[in-house]
Each structure stands twice: as C-alpha cells, then as structure tokens.
C-alpha cells in the first residue's frame, strides 16, 4: 500500500501500512456547495446562444441570464468565455458525429453510395434548418470560422475539425471504392473535399434563409451528378 493516501480531495493526508480510515480521525471536507446545475444542459443553452448570435455578440451576462447560472459558477465549471464557446461547439460536433455514425456506412450489402450520401445530407439539413424557428445554418461554420483569425484556440479547433471531417469522408470513400461503389480512378481525397465544400455550401445557404426544400433540391441535383 502507498505510504501516503489522500482520503478526500482537500482533506487530511494519512500515512502508514494497512490504513485504517477510522484511525485518521475527522476528515476535512470542502466548504463549497455542491453544483446545482447540469453541465450538459447548460452547454446546450450556451450553444443555442452562440449559434444564434455568434461569439462576439454573446456576453457572459447574456449566458448567465439565459442559463440561470452565475458568472463565477460558469467560470468555475467551464472556464472563460472562449473555453465555454469551444466546449459548446464540441458538444455540437459530438452530437452530429453520433448521428453520422448511423448513416455513413458502406459494407457492400446492397446499399448504394447515392442513398448513403443523401442520408448524410438529410442529417445535416435537419440540423441546419430544424434547430429553431429560424434557419441558423451550421453552428460551426457560421460562428467558429468568423472568430478563428482573432482567437488561437478557436483557430486550432477549426483546423482540427476540418481535418477530422476530411479524414472521415476520405476513409468513407476509400471503403466505398473497395466495395466497388466507385470507379477505379476515383480519388477519395478529392471526393472528400467536394463533400466538405457542399456541406459548407448548404450551411451558408441555410443561414441566409434557404428553405429545407430548396436545400434538398440542391443536394438531389448535385449528388445525382456526382454519384449516380
């Protein structure tokens, strides 16, 4: 057994072999009150604010008022405004990735590349147009890309996210090629870049007010041209 053992964070340190908790006496407990909010619920609300208003136009006072959590408590749980923003966008990315895990599959079992790609865009269009009464577009592209030149941590997040997106689609198209869904000369990297560009395109159009039907028609026409 270790010579030293900490019974509780911020408490007494007791030593010796065969540590007897009772022999250590009273354990000092932290004086802070337990957290009275759910971090994931708060991040969801924070994401809504940043998504609608952008990073610069959303203040910590706005966030405190919308979430009912004081600024000191927000800082304690999430860090400063920049860190809070990054964590909310990471939640957004995680949510989309979980949805994409169910649609971006190509195992040669009767699926077609066209139906899989369109299923992917169905997810993205629903995300871009169905979040609220307004068509807010892509939370990532509509907010993070604008702030990246002024904030190094946001720039790093943007670059990592784009690289991850590129890699995900390149692997997807490489798999499609192995199963015979793509012609032999097709380049998975080029197709990946085209998909990322098309995703950014419909995100921008959604932010500018394009309807769900208009976006779906763009996807139907474009994907038919690329993958039919």
Kindly tell me if the per-residue pLDDT of 17 is higher than 50: no
Whole-angstrom Cα distance, residue 108 to residue 1?
54
Break the chain into its structural domains and give their ranges.
Answer: 1-32, 37-101, 102-228
Q: Distance between CA 197 and CA 142 in Å, rounded?
A: 14
What CATH number is given for 37-101 in this structure? 1.10.10.60
pLDDT tens by residue, 117-167: 999 999 999 999 875 556 688 888 888 888 888 999 999 999 999 999 899
Residue 25 has pLDDT above 70, yes or no: no
The per-residue pLDDT for 141 is 85
Cα dist. 173→85, 99, 115, 117 in Å?
32, 18, 14, 10
What does the pLDDT look like over 208-221, one tens digit per residue?
989 899 999 999 99
Q: Which long-range contacts (CB under 8 A, 24 or more apart) does 7-13 make?
A: none
CATH topology of domain 102-228: Tetracycline Repressor; domain 2 (1.10.357)
Q: What is the mean pLDDT of residues 88-114?
A: 82
Tens of pLDDT along 44-56? 999 999 999 999 9
Query: Looking at the predicted structure, is the pLDDT value of residue 23 above 90?
Result: no
- Does residue 20 carry a pLDDT above 90? no
């Amino acid at each position: 057994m270790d010579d030293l053992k900490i019974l509780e964070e911020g408490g007494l340190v007791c030593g010796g072999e065969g540590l007897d908790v009772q022999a250590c006496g009273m354990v000092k407990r932290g004086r802070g009150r337990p957290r009275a909010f759910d971090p994931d619920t708060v991040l969801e609300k924070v994401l809504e604010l940043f998504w609608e208003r952008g990073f610069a136009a959303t203040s910590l006072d706005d966030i405190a008022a919308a979430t009912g959590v004081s600024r000191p408590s927000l800082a304690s749980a999430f860090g400063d405004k920049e860190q809070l923003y990054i964590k909310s966008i990471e939640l957004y990315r995680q949510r989309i990735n979980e949805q994409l895990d169910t649609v971006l599959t190509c195992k040669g079992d009767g699926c077609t590349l066209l139906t899989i790609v369109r299923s992917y865009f169905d997810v993205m269009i629903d995300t871009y147009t169905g979040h609220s009464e307004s068509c807010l577009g892509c939370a990532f592209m509509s907010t993070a890309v604008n702030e990246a030149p002024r904030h190094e941590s946001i720039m790093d997040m943007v670059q990592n996210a784009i690289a991850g997106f590129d890699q995900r689609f390149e692997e997807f198209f490489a798999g499609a090629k192995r199963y015979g869904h793509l012609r032999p000369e097709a380049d998975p990297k080029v197709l990946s870049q085209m998909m990322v560009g098309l995703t950014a395109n419909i995100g921008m159009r959604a932010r500018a007010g394009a309807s769900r039907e208009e976006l779906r028609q763009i996807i139907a026409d474009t994907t038919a041209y690329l993958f039919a």
